[in-house]
Amino acid sequence: MSDVAFAETTSLINIPRWLPLPIARRKDRAMKIMDEFITGLFSTALQQRVGEEAHLISSLIEHHEGRAQAIRDDAMSLLIAGHETSGALPTWSFAMLAAFPVWLERAIVEVDRVRGAERPQASDLLRLPTIMAILQETLRLYPPAYTLFLREALRDVDIQGQRIRRGDLVQVIPYITQRDDRLFEYAERFDPTRFMNEADWPPYAYLPFGAGPRVCIGQNFGLMETGLVLATVLQHMVPAPCDQLPKPMARFSLRPAGGLVLRWRTRR
């Protein structure tokens, strides 16, 4: 679905939906699979007794008072918005740990000290500053949301000599701004200690979730779930060192081109 949507939004022409093109068939098939999956989730939940199990779908059912179309629409939005980016962040994080064994060792020592063999909980993340700093530094270098949505200027404005006229389209690209040596010292270096101290960069220099009134509503949730994934996996498995990071590929999120190929060893 992501590949099809990316192809549509980056096409130089607006492709009519009625044309029997392969991309249209792929899109219809993907939408049908997603719709059946979501509909099945809340249909099952509607049949269960209230309070039997607490999860996201039950919250949506309660919020929308059982209205199927509203539940389906919200669940679909959450799946599309939160699935790909939340998968890309731990992917790049494991790549960074494989490329920088010193930080991998620090992360393992921290997880073992804080949780031992017990499964990490959300309340543990405050005691896992290394894990969270690794995620935040990965977000700086390889932000899944590598570019933000276009904005249209409502009036003429001058920004440090750059004239932007009313009606111009402006795009902020975190992948570029967060690698700017004017904003971050040794910007191309992977250094999670940046996020273990007080920030020394200007406001809005670091914006992997956007900024302002339209900042990503799932920012805290995304950091929480990926932090728990990182900590839990490292309790059981360790990526083998790799000499070269994969090349980034821009789609709806920033992915490793060709996927991430790592060797792992088990710890327990």
Say if residue 63's pLDDT is above 90: no
Output the pTM of the full model: 0.85
Give me the pLDDT at residue 49, please: 55
User: In the structure, what pLDDT confidence band is assigned to residue 50 with cuts at 50, 70 and 90?
Assistant: low
Is 209 marked active-site?
yes
The single residue listed with the structure tokens 């959300």 is 122
Nearest Cα neighbor of 253 from 61, 30, 3, 48 is 3
Give me the pLDDT at residue 58, please: 80
- Among 42, 184, 209, 252, the one annotated catalytic: 209
Q: Cα(250)–Cα(146) distance, rounded to whole angstroms?
A: 8
Is 242 marked active-site?
no
Give me the pLDDT at residue 53, please: 56
Q: Is 34 exposed, middle or buried, given 0-12, 13-18 or 19+ CB atoms closer than 10 A?
A: middle
Give me the pLDDT at residue 41, please: 82
Is 85 marked active-site?
yes
- What mean pLDDT comes out for the span 58-78? 84
**Which phi and psi (to 5°) does residue 9 adopt?**
-75, -20
Domains of the chain in start order, with CATH, are 1-66 (no CATH), 82-266 (1.10.630.10)
The dihedral built from the CA positions of residue 25, 26, 31 and 34, taken in this order, carries a sign that is positive
Q: Cα(145)–Cα(58) distance, rounded to whole angstroms?
A: 29
Give me the pLDDT at residue 134, please: 98
Nearest Cα neighbor of 190 from 257, 133, 145, 237 is 133
Give me the pLDDT at residue 78, please: 80
Please report, as a single letter, which amino acid is at residue 142.
Y
What percentage of the chain has pLDDT greater than the value 70? 97
User: In the structure, what pLDDT confidence band is assigned to residue 52 with cuts at 50, 70 and 90?
Assistant: low
- Among 216, 226, 242, 252, the one annotated catalytic: 216
**Which phi and psi (to 5°) does residue 14 adopt?**
-85, 105
pLDDT digits (tens, 9 = 90+) for 204-253: 999 999 998 888 888 998 999 999 999 999 999 999 999 889 999 988 88
- Among 42, 85, 130, 190, the one annotated catalytic: 85
Say if residue 54's pLDDT is above 70: no
- What mean pLDDT comes out for the span 28-49? 83
